[in-house]
Structures are given as C-alpha cells and as structure tokens.
Structure 1
C-alpha cells in the first residue's frame, strides 16, 4: 500500500514517534509517506532526524518529509493527524496562573474549566484553518484524526464548522481498563470486556466482565480499596465509584476539575489528591510535567536519537487508536475502540449535537458506532454540565463573542463553585488580553477588555495553589531517574 499521512503539530516529538512506530507495525504500511508539519523548524528538525533514523535502522522504504508549509504537507494526504498545542507552554502557563488569582485551582486545565475553555478558544480558529486546507488540498474523502485537547471542542468545531470527516482520539478509556484489570487480578487487560461511554475525560465503565463473569459495583470497590497503590492515588475516583456506582476513565486529578465538590475548597483538596505523581491532583501538575519533559528532551536529545536506531518491535505497539483505525480502514481487519464523534443517537440521554466518546467498530466501510446506549442518570447529568459549557465555548470561539465566552466560563462547574460573576468577567478579560496573540477572533474585544481591567476593583490573590510543586531542574531529574534505576 502507498498513501500519505500528514501529522500537524509533529513537533510533539515523543507522541509523533509513538504514532509513527505504531503505524509501521502494520506490515502493509511500510511503503507509505509521512508528511510532518509544525510552526517550529527546530522541533521539526529534531523529530525528522529521529524518524529518519528509525527508517534507516529498519531498512524501510518509508518516506518522511518535514515542512513548516502546512498546505504542502496536507496536499494529497489520505489521513491527517493533529496533535497541536496552540500557544505552547507559554499560553498554557497563563491557563493555570490567571485562574489561580481568582481561586480556581486546576490540575490539568485542558478540557473544560477556565484553562480548557481558553485553550479551546486558541485552538478552534486554527482547527478551522486545518479543515479548510484539508477540503482544498488533501485527498478526496480524507479523514481527520484529532488527538489535540480540548478534545470535544476541537472535534465539535471540525465536524460542525470545518465540514471534514473527523474523529477524536484519546487513550483515557484504555488506561482506565488497564487499572480495572489490574485490581481484579487479571493476567492481561484483554481478559476484561467492557462498555465505556460518555464524553471525553468523563467516560464511564457501565458494563464490566472479567473472562465472561459480570463485575458488580461492590466487587470493584473492594478491589480498588484493597490495592496498595490505587487505594491511595485514586481516592476521588473511588469515592465517585461508591456514589455513582460506576468507575470513571479519567485520572484522579483530571476528574477533580469536572466535579466541583472535590476541588472548590483549598483546605479540602489535599484530602482527595495524592502527590506521588502529577496526574493525581497536583496544582498545575500537567504544566510542570510538560515543562520538565520538554526540558529533558532538549537536553538529552542525543540519547533519544540513539534509541531510534533500535528495530521496531511490533509486540510493543501501543494501544493508541490511530494505527489500529488506519489498519482497519485499509486492510478490513476489524478494530473495536472508543471514538469521539457527534452523538446522533448513539447515547440516548445526551444531546444529539454533543461530541460523545463511546464504543465503535472500524472496517473498510468506516467507523461504525454502537448505538442505543443509555448512561446512568448521574453520569448523564455530569456530562450534561460539561456539554453545555462546551457548546457555548465552541459558539463563542466561532463568533469571537466575548460575552458568550464569559457565560461559558461562568457555567463551568468548578469555576461557578469558586468564583463570583464579577470575578469571572474580570478573569476572562485578563486571559483574553494576556493571550491576544493567539486569539484573532477577539482582537476587536481586546481594547475594551484592557479598559475594563484598568478600572476594575475586583480583588485577586497571589497564590500558588493548594498543592503546587516547582519545576525540577535537569540535575534533579537525573538524580531521580538514577535513584529509581538503582531501586528497581
């Protein structure tokens, strides 16, 4: 087979490498072309060198090109994969820093909440540019695979306004299933059969079977509470399991941002989080992790390049959906996964226009969703709160409507539990002004926002958050890795 895959935001080096090696684990795909594109020539050069080394080491005919000209990369592409982070770490730092001034403590801030909503405002104009290029220069019927957050908002915009065949992809379901299989004592995650449905980052395991045996709520609670690690790291998720009756896919820290009951009081946050790793609830945890990872990669790049000389091991193919979807579409080997698509009746008690994440099957006819799923009422109610925020956020981003943007932020569950309307209005003004270079649709609103800020009497606080850690130096990271190696 010979076709072209374009990767937008290919400078996300580690993830691009994973997608690349996964796809090349499919024997029929060795003769395809990868077209990498990014706004950073530096990042492109690094990832192209790594992928060229992989191709050379494995003696493959695979073609790899790299360009900052996005239309050139997309020309003739059958598949387009996006893993962009618009505004990079600079804008992301504002997504965490500015809401903290108004008492909003986020662990990740890339899906909803104040940070996730502004992230969507930066992404959506760019997503629509991608879609325009796809319609104009990509192969007829090209499929757009979106990995970028905020997943639901980006996918919503691409489908509804970009008019491109789009699917959103995430690995939260797989990671949750691996946890459940582990606590139940399975030898392999493949022993667990499950139905998981909802919206991205709020997906629920509504049916579980281990080797054909149904697993109920009480057995799952007991298994998690008995686990020596997860009983400490996933306290919030276990509490939700007890109250809702089903387990959530999303990490302890991420889930805490969507459910306002756990993160609205600073003195309560420590009760529900765990500081053994960023993902369990640390203030700005993902920002710190992303910063450290980027610094580490830049410093240790020669080691990453050397590692690329190893043969591809198909046994280590990851459970990221992209390669499996492409394999199913191109070879007709059926793949079952969980995909972000427009609802259209798939989940009976969520809105038709919402972007849902639910089971589907892929073959040469495309992605076919399993329809007629009904969520438990509490799960649907929680998803609905986020869907309403997502819808307003998408519409605000399309129209450049700062008043609607403020209403979207106000209706966010955690923001609404922490901040007053006056605080929300000022916070959004401050975020739009700080991120104006990535928000072209709000250029007309920036002068008035600046004027309001100059006259505002709303008080803010200088606060690092309830559970903040400093970014570690390269020397500290080296020492920690050495200690872990010695201990292991």
Structure 2
C-alpha cells in the first residue's frame, strides 16, 4: 500500500513518534509517506531526525518529509492527524494563571472551564484554516483525525463549519478500562468487555462484564476502595461512582474541574485530590508536567535520538486509536474503539448536534457507530451542562462575539460555582487581552476590553492555587529518575 499521512503539530515530538511507530506496526504500511508540518522549524527537524533514525534502523522504505508549509504537507494526503496546541505553553500558562486570580483552580484546563474555553477560542480559527486546505489539496475522501484538545469543540468546528470528514480521538476510555481490569483482578485487559459512552472526558462505563459476568456498582466500589493505590489517587472519582452508579473514564484531576462540586472551596480541594502525580488534581498540574517534559526533551535530545535506533516491536504497539483505524480502513481488519463524532442518534438523551464519544466499529466502509444508547440520567445531565458550554464556545469562536464568549464561560459548571458575573466578565476581558496574538476573531473587541480593565473595580487576588507545585529543574528530574530506576 502507498498513501500519504500528514501530521499537523508534528513538533509534539513524543506523541508524533508514538503515532509513527504504531502505524508502522501494520505490515502493509511500510511504503507510505509521512508529511510532518509545524510552526516550529526547530521541533520539526528534531522529530524528523528521530523518525529517519527509526526508518534506517528498521530498513524501511517509508518516506518522511518535514515542512513549515502546511498546505504543501497536506497535498494529496489521505489522512490528516492534528496534534496542535495553539499558543503553546505561553498561552497555556495564562489559561491557568488568570482564572486563579478569580478563584478558579484548574488541574488541566484544556477541555472546558475557563482555560479550556479560551484554548478552544485559539484553536478553532486555526482548525478552520486546516479544513480549508484539506478540502482544497488533500485526497477527495480524506479523513481528518483530531487528537487536539479541547476535543469536542475542535471536532464540532471541523465537522459543522470546516465541512471535513472528522473523527476525534482520545485515550481516556482505554486508560479507565485498564484501571477497572486491574482492580477486578483480570489476568489481561481482554477479559474485560465494556460499553463506555458520553462526551469526551465525561464518558461513562455504563456496561461492564468480566469474562461475560456483569459487574455492578457495589462490586466496583469495593474493588476500588480495596486497591492500595487507586483508593488514594481516585478519591473523587470513587465518590462520583458511589453517587452516579457508574465509573467515569476521566482522571481524578480532570473530572474534578468538569463538575461544580469538588473544586469550588479551596479548603476542600485537598480532601479530594492526591499529589502523588499531577493527573490526580494538582493545581496547574498538566502545565507543570508539560513544561518539565519540554525542558527534559530539549536537554536530553541525544538520548531520544539514540533510542530511535531500536527495532520497532509490534508487541509494544500502543492503544492509541489512529493506527488501528487506518489499519481497519485500509485492510478491512475490523477494529472496535470509542470515537468522537456528531451525535445524530448515537446517544438518545444527549443533544443531536453535540459531539459524543461512544463505541464504534471500523472496516473498509468507514467508522460505524453503535446507535440508540441511553445514558443514566445523572450522566446525561452532567454531559448536557458541558455540551451547552461547548456549543456557545464554538459559536463564539466562529463569530468573534465576546459577549457570547462571556456567557459561555459564565455557564461553565465550575466557573459558575466559584465566580460572580462581574468577575467572569472581567476575567474574560483579561484573558482576551493577554492572548490577543492568538485570537484574531476578537481583535475588534480588544481595545474596549483593555479600556474596561483600566477602570474596573472588581477585586482579584494573587494566588498560586490550593495545591500548586513548582516546575522541577533538569537536575531534580534526573535525580528522581535515578531514584526510580534504583528502586525498580
């Protein structure tokens, strides 16, 4: 087989390498072309050198090109994969820092909440630029695979306004299933069968079977509470399981910021989170982790390049959906996974225009979703609150309507539990002014926002958050890795 895959945001080096090696685990794909594109020439050259080393070590005929000219990379592509973070860590830091001034403590801030909504405002205009190029220069039946957050908003914009055949991909479902299999004592992940449905980062395991035996709420609660690690790391998630009756796919830290109940009082936050790793609820945890990862990669790049000389091991192919989808579409080997698509009857009690995440099957005829799923009422209610925010956020990003943007942020569950309308209006003004370089659709609104900020009487506070950690130095990271290696 010979076809072209374009990866936008390929400078996300670690993730691009994973996608690349996963795809090359499919024997029929050795002759394909990867076209890498990114706004950073520096990152592009680093990842290209790594992928070239992999090709050389495995004696493959695979072709890799790298260019900052996105349109050139997209020419003739059959598949386009997006891993972009518009604004990079600079804008992301504002997504965490500015809401903290108004009492909004986020762990990740990339899906909804104040940070996720502004992230969507930066991404959506760029996503539409991608879609324009895809329509004009890619293969006629091109498929766009979006990995970038905010998943639902980006996918919604690409389908509704970009008019490109798009599927959103995430690994939250797989990670949740791995946890459940472990606490239930499964010998392998294959023993666990499940139906997981909802919206991205708020997906629910509504049917669980271990070797064909149904697993109920009480058994699952008992299994998690008995686990020596998850009982501490997933306290909030377990509490939601007890109250809703079903387990959420999303990590303790992520889930905490999508709900209005657990992060609204600073003195309560530490009760529900765990500081053993960023993902369990640390304030700005993913920002810290991402910063450390970038610094580590820049410093230790020679080691990454050396590691690329190892043979590709198909047994280590990851559970990221992309390679499995491409394999199913191209070879007709059927793949079952969980995909983000427009609802259109997939989930009966969620809005039909929403982007839902639910089970589907892939073969040469495409992605075929299982339809007619009904969520438990509490799960649906929680999802609908986020969907309403997502819809307003997408429409604001398309129109450049700053008033609609403020209403979207106001209706966010955690923001609404913490902040007053006056605080929300000022916070959005501050975020739009700070991120103006990445928000062209709001250029007309920036001068007035800046003027309002100069005369505002709304009080803010300088606050690091309830559970903040400092970015660790390279020396500290080295010491920690050495200690882990010695302990292992």
- Normalising TM by the smaller chain, what interval? over 0.9
Cα offset for 1:463?
Answer: 0.1
Q: State the alpha-carbon separation in 2 of the partners of residues 216 and 105 from structure 1.
A: 33
Cα offset for 1:79?
Answer: 0.1
Q: State the alpha-carbon separation in 2 of the partners of residues 252 and 27 from structure 1.
A: 38
SS in 2 for 1:197: strand
SS in 2 for 1:350: coil
SS in 2 for 1:391: helix
Cα offset for 1:102?
Answer: 0.2
Q: Show CA shifts across 1:252-309 (max 9, x none).
A: 0000001110000000000000000000000000000000000000000000000000
Cα offset for 1:190?
Answer: 1.0
Q: State the alpha-carbon separation in 2 of the partners of residues 342 and 234 from structure 1.
A: 30
Unaligned regions of 5+ residues in structure 1, if any?
none
Q: Show CA shifts across 1:19-45 (max 9, x none).
A: 000000000000000000000000000
Q: Which residue of 2 aligns with 1:4?
A: 4
Cα offset for 1:401?
Answer: 0.3
Q: Which residue of 1 aligns with 2:202?
A: 202
Q: Show CA shifts across 1:225-247 (max 9, x none).
A: 00000000000000000000000
Are 1:186 and 2:186 matched, yes or no?
yes
Are 1:252 and 2:252 matched, yes or no?
yes
Cα offset for 1:447?
Answer: 0.3
Q: State the alpha-carbon separation in 1 of the partners of residues 121 and 218 from structure 2.
A: 42
Q: Show CA shifts across 1:342-395 (max 9, x none).
A: 000100000000000000000000000000000000000000000000000000
Q: State the alpha-carbon separation in 2 of the partners of residues 372 and 395 from structure 1.
A: 27
Unaligned regions of 5+ residues in structure 2, if any?
none
Cα offset for 1:65?
Answer: 0.1
SS in 2 for 1:145: strand
Cα offset for 1:92?
Answer: 0.1
Q: TM-score, normalised by structure 2?
A: 1.00
Q: Which residue of 2 aligns with 1:324?
A: 324
Q: Show CA shifts across 1:398-453 (max 9, x none).
A: 00000000000000000000000000000000000000000000000000000000
Q: TM-score, normalised by structure 1?
A: 1.00
Runs of 4+ displaced beyond 6 Å = none
Q: State the alpha-carbon separation in 2 of the partners of residues 271 and 141 from structure 1.
A: 50
Q: State the alpha-carbon separation in 2 of the partners of residues 261 and 102 from structure 1.
A: 17
SS in 1 for 2:116: helix
SS in 2 for 1:461: coil
Q: State the alpha-carbon separation in 1 of the partners of residues 187 and 55 from structure 2.
A: 34
Cα offset for 1:96?
Answer: 0.1
Q: State the alpha-carbon separation in 1 of the partners of residues 452 and 345 from structure 2.
A: 44
SS in 2 for 1:209: strand
SS in 2 for 1:345: coil
Q: Show CA shifts across 1:175-200 (max 9, x none).
A: 00000000000011111000000000
Q: State the alpha-carbon separation in 2 of the partners of residues 85 and 116 from structure 1.
A: 12
Q: State the alpha-carbon separation in 2 of the partners of residues 248 and 255 from structure 1.
A: 8
Q: State the alpha-carbon separation in 2 of the partners of residues 345 and 351 from structure 1.
A: 9
Q: State the alpha-carbon separation in 1 of the partners of residues 339 and 35 from structure 2.
A: 24
Q: Which residue of 2 aligns with 1:90?
A: 90
Q: State the alpha-carbon separation in 2 of the partners of residues 476 and 380 from structure 1.
A: 44
SS in 2 for 1:367: strand
Q: State the alpha-carbon separation in 1 of the partners of residues 189 and 373 from structure 2.
A: 23
SS in 1 for 2:469: coil
Cα offset for 1:224?
Answer: 0.1
Q: State the alpha-carbon separation in 2 of the partners of residues 259 and 272 from structure 1.
A: 13
Q: State the alpha-carbon separation in 2 of the partners of residues 293 and 187 from structure 1.
A: 32
Cα offset for 1:132?
Answer: 0.1
Q: State the alpha-carbon separation in 2 of the partners of residues 141 and 402 from structure 1.
A: 36
C-alpha RMSD over aligned residues: 0.2
Cα offset for 1:116?
Answer: 0.0
Cα offset for 1:325?
Answer: 0.1
SS in 1 for 2:283: coil
Q: State the alpha-carbon separation in 1 of the partners of residues 54 and 461 from structure 2.
A: 50
Q: Which residue of 1 aligns with 2:446?
A: 446
Q: Show CA shifts across 1:426-483 (max 9, x none).
A: 0000000000000000000000000000000000000000000000000000000000
Q: State the alpha-carbon separation in 2 of the partners of residues 147 and 284 from structure 1.
A: 21
SS in 2 for 1:325: helix
SS in 2 for 1:250: coil
Q: Which residue of 1 aligns with 2:143?
A: 143
Cα offset for 1:173?
Answer: 0.1
SS in 2 for 1:140: coil
SS in 1 for 2:356: strand
Q: State the alpha-carbon separation in 2 of the partners of residues 9 and 123 from structure 1.
A: 12
Q: State the alpha-carbon separation in 1 of the partners of residues 266 and 183 from structure 2.
A: 31
Q: State the alpha-carbon separation in 1 of the partners of residues 401 and 189 from structure 2.
A: 46
Cα offset for 1:119?
Answer: 0.1
Q: Show CA shifts across 1:108-127 (max 9, x none).
A: 00000000000000000000
